[in-house]
């Protein structure tokens, strides 16, 4: 008998066909109130779940006594209670690697857009205010040759370092759990304490996952150590930053600008003070959002789920403790 999969993210026709060849599929098209009600109805019969951007807490998953596997279409797994899943022997998988380069591209888009004031100056033309050559009041700052500071040297951090070092001739400094000699050698990067990084980097790029340890890590104290020329970039998770402290730091001129793809609460409210500031470039959590990469992530999630439901260990298993072997 086919297993039952509940999808809460639409798939391409090709991937849908691949999944339907192996499983009975219920698709929840939208995660609005009606969609959530459909999800609750479908959970009791679900063996597998596939989707993203939904907090799947114990209260919800208790409705799914037959659940064997969840395939998240994301690299981040902060929407899941991993201890709970492991206790219930539910295999959780994610989609690393396939989104690394695209997300690092987004990081550099934010670096360039903030430093060179791309959005602000493009808006100036749209507003009909380009009447003479722009002067120093509209000049930006260089990117090439400036110091790139990376907090969290995982795959995406490494891809940022590669772009900074080879593409823009930037000295790279980084902070992570432990030094990474191979990366230091490849990119001539220097490991340093978080404090040193905050004080020395021109671009402070956050690539850490959201965990109990990293939540609120970049707050008032951290912003106080940055320099007025520093530009802060966040492509990881909004909750790693104390957003009120970030707003204060921007208002008080403690930092020059911020490029933000993620926020404490998403979608970001249209009345957020961040959206009133010319020196903030805000994007709607689009780090991996290209046609190619989102399709690759979905394919990876489908393969992870089908493997798990066939009794095989998924390639991107997040909670090995749930695997019986
Ligand atoms: C990820 O893959 O974790 C992206 O941030 C999308 O949530």
Alpha carbon nearest to ligand 1 atom 7, residue: 74
Residues 200 and 104 in one domain: yes
Residues 119 and 202 in one domain: yes
Residues 106 and 198 in one domain: yes
Residues 177 and 274 in one domain: yes
| Helix (H) / strand (E) containing 9 | none
Which among 197, 261, 208 has a CA at the least distance from the CA of 230? 197
Active site residue 237: yes
DSSP one-letter code for 189? -
Environment class of 320 (CB within 10 Å of its CB; exposed 0-12, middle 13-18, buried 19+): exposed
Q: Which atom of ligand 1 approaches the CA of 52 most closely?
A: 7
Distance 55 CA to ligand 1 centre (A): 13
Alpha carbon nearest to ligand 1 atom 4, residue: 74
pLDDT at residue number 229: 98
Sequence-distant (6+) residues with CB within 8 A of 168 are 143, 144, 145, 146, 148
Q: Count of residues for the chain?
A: 325
Contact 288, 297 (CB under 8 A): yes
Residues 200 and 68 in one domain: no
Distance 74 CA to ligand 1 centre (A): 4
Residues 28 and 176 in one domain: no
Rg (CA), the chain: 22
pLDDT tens, residue by residue, 175-210: 999 999 999 999 999 999 999 999 999 999 999 999
Residues 59 and 145 in one domain: no
pLDDT at residue number 231: 99
Q: For the chain, what is the mean pLDDT?
A: 97
Residues 106 and 203 in one domain: yes
Residues 71 and 118 in one domain: no
Active site residue 88: no
Contact 168, 143 (CB under 8 A): yes
Alpha carbon nearest to ligand 1 atom 2, residue: 74
Phi, psi values for residue 51, rounded to 5°? 170, -165
Residues 131 and 249 in one domain: yes
Residues 152 and 264 in one domain: yes
Residues 274 and 298 in one domain: no
Task: Residue 222: give the domain boundaries.
Answer: 100-282
Distance 65 CA to ligand 1 centre (A): 27
Mean pLDDT of all residues in 101-123: 98
Q: What's 307's domain CATH number?
A: 3.40.50.720
Task: With cut-offs at 50, 70 and 90, classify the pLDDT of residue 324.
Answer: confident
Distance 137 CA to ligand 1 centre (A): 36
pLDDT tens, residue by residue, 35-58: 999 999 999 999 999 999 999 999
Ligand 1 binding pocket, CB closer than 6 Å: 52, 74-76, 99, 287-288
The total number of structural domains that make up the chain: 2
Task: With cut-offs at 50, 70 and 90, classify the pLDDT of residue 305.
Answer: very high
pLDDT at residue number 325: 64
């Amino acid at each position: 008998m086919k297993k039952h999969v509940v999808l809460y993210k639409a798939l391409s026709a090709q991937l849908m066909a691949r999944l339907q060849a192996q499983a009975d599929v219920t698709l929840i098209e939208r995660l609005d109130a009606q969609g959530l009600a459909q999800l609750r109805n479908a959970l009791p019969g679900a063996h597998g779940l596939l989707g993203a951007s939904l907090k799947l807490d114990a209260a919800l998953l208790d409705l799914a006594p037959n659940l064997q596997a969840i395939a998240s279409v994301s690299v981040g797994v902060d929407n899941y209670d991993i201890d709970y899943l492991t206790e219930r022997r539910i295999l959780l998988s994610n989609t690393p690697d396939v989104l690394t380069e695209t997300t690092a591209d987004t990081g550099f888009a934010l670096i360039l857009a903030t430093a060179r004031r791309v959005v602000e100056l493009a808006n100036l033309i749209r507003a009909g205010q380009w009447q003479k050559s722009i002067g120093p009041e509209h000049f930006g700052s260089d990117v090439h040759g400036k110091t790139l500071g990376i907090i969290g040297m995982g795959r995406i951090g490494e891809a940022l370092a590669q772009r900074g070092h080879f593409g823009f001739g930037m000295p790279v400094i980084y902070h992570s759990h432990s030094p990474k000699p191979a990366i230091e050698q490849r990119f001539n990067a220097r490991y340093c304490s978080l404090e040193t990084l905050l004080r020395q980097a021109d671009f402070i790029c956050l690539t850490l996952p959201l965990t109990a340890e990293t939540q609120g890590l970049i707050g008032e104290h951290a912003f106080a150590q940055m320099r007025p020329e520093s530009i802060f970039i966040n492509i990881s998770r909004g909750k790693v930053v104390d957003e009120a402290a970030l707003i204060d730091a921007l208002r008080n001129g403690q930092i020059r600008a911020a490029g933000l793809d993620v926020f404490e609460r998403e979608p970001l409210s249209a009345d957020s003070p961040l959206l009133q500031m010319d020196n903030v470039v805000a994007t709607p959590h689009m780090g991996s959002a290209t046609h190619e990469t989102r399709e690759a992530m979905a394919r990876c999630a489908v393969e992870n789920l089908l493997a798990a439901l066939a009794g095989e260990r998924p390639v991107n298993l997040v909670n090995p403790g749930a695997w019986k072997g």
